[in-house]
Amino acid sequence: MKSVKNVLALVMSLLLVLGMAACGGSDSDSDLAYVKEKGTLVVGITDFAPMDYKEEGSDEWIGFDADMAKAFAEDLGVEVQFVEINWDNKAMELQTKAIDVVWNGMTLTEEVKQLMGCSEPYCLNGQVVVVPAEVADQYQTTESLSGLNFAAENGSAGAEQLDALGLTYTATDTQAKALMEVASGASDACVIDLLMAGAMIGEGTSYPELTYTVQLNSEEYGVGFRMDSDLVDAFNTFWKEAYDAGTVMEVAATYGVQESVIEK
Amino acid sequence: MLMDVTLSLLEGFGTTVQLFALTLLFSLPLGLIICFGSMSRFAPLRWIIKTFVWIVRGSPLLLQVLIIFYGPGLMFGLPLLPRFTAALVAFVINYACYFSEIYRGGIQSVSRGQYEAGQVLGMTKSQIFFKITLLQVIKRIIPPMGNEWITLVKDTALVRVISVYEIIWMGESYIKKGLIWPLFYTMVFYLVFNGLLTILFGWLEKKLDYFR
């Protein structure tokens, strides 16, 4: 499965390069004007509590990111439209204008910064190791992790950390599947986002028998637009204003992420 | 819970069935056109069609879906087709190529002597095709068609790569809520649908058992 993905990634990057060659410089038009003209801001997301998710039995996307995206669209005077995307394809979705923004608790990695026009960071995050609660005592340090079978989302910040530590892992297509790996016993541990771990595991969640131990790094979340888009500036201005008005903290508190929000 | 999951899977299955039905609707006739092209006596046309069929049959449908959806935007900066439409276009082209080969096999399996007999009786080419060949072709292509239709039902699962929310996508979304059984439950839908198709093709075969 992993090799299939690699081949895919290769072909897609070829297409991407071809595309850039074919239409180089055609992005001179204002992205902001483009979005305003069509009247909708298409937000690319995945199902990722507490940032973007749906309540049981509801069709509306909510969460810290979803609610702020709605506010941003309102600020621009356009409708918001959420599209659940395949996370591997986010850069292509943006470049082909299938979506206008990636707003889904996205870690600002070097790779992301090369592919997208990124906002200023708005949230702190880290990669944490998730293990079954009953063995958590044994894995409190980075040294204790060698020998474990890990799972991590393919190409995620967590996978990068594991690579850096020289630990091997099974690549899954979502972070949720990495959690499934541990819950089902297929892997000993997985590495996922701290914010996601906070919301998805432990008592009162879908995975009460799991817990997280070591935090491997700290990193920042940002919002991704098309390269050189003027929406980046529009976003940064909007965010500062919303922060000063207290809206950001208010929404963050609703979803329990207020401690991670970066002060502006 | 079971009810909720069933309803949400049914919603995804609606998309699956729609893709299945529309693909057949367009690819069955298109396949016949491609088939005639591949048997054309005009050599350049034959080569073009054969190369096209080779490319389409020789590369993964998954890639074709990705290229048709993202390709125009990536390569030429053009606006994209809606997700479902892009998936449908890829499927129609792909399946039309497979069908064209099935048709060709069926047509060429009718012995030469029958064409000649038709000519002796003074029938025109189209009369020979419709009155002699066609009935036998239909009968002979039923089994490979059944195969292809069943494969099509399962191939629809590929369109989730471009975020068309078919049944597997719906089933997988429950994994995030810690439920894995909905994903396996989707299998029931496929099995029932393919069971019905199997019965349909079995019945058709019997119905067309008019000569040996």
Tens-level pLDDT at each residue, chain B (212 residues) = 889 899 999 999 999 999 999 999 999 999 999 999 999 999 999 999 999 999 999 999 999 999 999 999 888 888 899 999 999 999 999 999 999 999 999 999 998 899 899 999 999 988 998 888 888 899 899 999 999 999 999 999 999 999 999 999 999 888 777 788 999 999 999 999 999 999 999 999 998 887 65
- Size of the A and B interface in Cβ pairs below 8 Å: 74
Confidence band (pLDDT; 50, 70, 90) for A17? low
Fold of domain B2-109+142-207: MetI-like fold (1.10.3720)
On whether both A77 and A58 belong to a single domain, the answer is yes
**pLDDT at A20 (0 to 100):** 52
Model confidence at A155, pLDDT cuts 50, 70, 90, reads confident
Q: Residue B89 contacts by C-beta under 8 Å, 6 or more apart in sequence?
A: B68, B81
| Distance between A16 CA and the closest CA of chain B, angstroms | 6
Total number of domains in chain A = 2
Q: What is the CATH number of the domain that holds A101?
A: 3.40.190.10
Q: Closest residue of B to A90, CA-based?
A: B162
- Asked whether residue A95 is domain-assigned, the answer is yes
Q: Are A155 and A126 in contact (CB under 8 A)?
A: no
Position B39 scores a pLDDT of 93
DSSP 8-state assignment for residue B211? -
| Distance, CA of A177 to CA of A172 (rounded, Å) | 6
Nearest CA to CA, how far is B24 from chain A (Å)? 27
Are residues A235 and A119 part of one domain? yes
pLDDT, tens digit (0-9, with 9 covering 90-100), for A158-180? 999 999 999 999 999 888 889 98
Rounded to an integer, the average pLDDT of A53-82 is 94
Residue A81 has a CB neighbour count (10 Å cut-off) of: 15
ipTM reported for the complex, 2 dp: 0.74
SS (H, E, C) A190-222: EEEEHHHHHHHECCCCCECCEEEEEECCCEEEE
Q: Are residues A103 and A141 in the same domain?
A: no
- A11 CB neighbours in chain B (<8 A) are 63, 66
For residue A197, list chain B residues with Cβ-Cβ distance below 8 A.
none
Residue-range definition of the domain harbouring residue A145:
127-217
Q: Is B134 exposed, middle or buried (0-12, 13-18, 19+ CB in 10 A)?
A: middle
Same-domain check for residues A226 and A95: yes
CB atoms within 10 A of CB A171: 19
B178 vs A96: CB contact, 8 Å cut-off?
A: no
- Rounded Cα distance, A133 and B179, in Å: 20
Residue A2's pLDDT is what?
47
Angle between the N-to-C axes of helices B2-38 and B134-155, in degrees from 0 to 180, rounded to the nearest 10: 140
Query: Same domain, yes or no, for A64 and A171?
Result: no
The confidence score (pLDDT) of residue A10 equals: 60
Answer whether residue A94 is part of any domain: yes
A174 & A231 share domain:
no
**Do A147 and A184 belong together in one domain?**
yes
Task: Output the pLDDT for position A1.
Answer: 44
Model pLDDT for residues A215-240, shown as the tens digit of each residue:
999 999 999 999 999 999 999 999 99
Over residues A79-104, the mean pLDDT reads 94
The answer on A83 and A44 residing in a single domain is yes
User: Which residue bears the tokens 């980046």?
Assistant: A232
Same domain, A112 and A176: no
Give yes or no: residues A34 and A114 share one domain.
yes
Where do we find the tokens 């990636």? A102
In a domain, A16, yes or no: no
Residue A28's pLDDT is 53
Of A96 and A6, which is predicted with more confidence? Answer: A96
pLDDT at A128: 95
Question: Residue A11 is nearest to which of B63, B160, B178, comparing CB atoms?
Answer: B63
Residues of chain A found within 8 Å of residue B178, distances taken between Cβ atoms: 183, 205-207
A23: pLDDT strictly greater than 60: no
Do residue A175 and residue A234 come from a single domain? no
- Taking a C-beta distance cutoff of 8 angstroms, is the pair A184, A172 a contact? no
Confidence class for position A196, pLDDT limits 50, 70, 90: confident
Considering the domain architecture, whether residues A63 and A170 belong to the same structural domain is answered as no
On whether residue A1 sits in a domain, the answer given is no
- The pLDDT value recorded for residue B135 is 85
Q: Place A182 in a pLDDT band, splitting at 50, 70 and 90.
A: very high
pLDDT at A24 (0 to 100): 44
Contact yes or no for B77 and A183 at CB 8 A: no
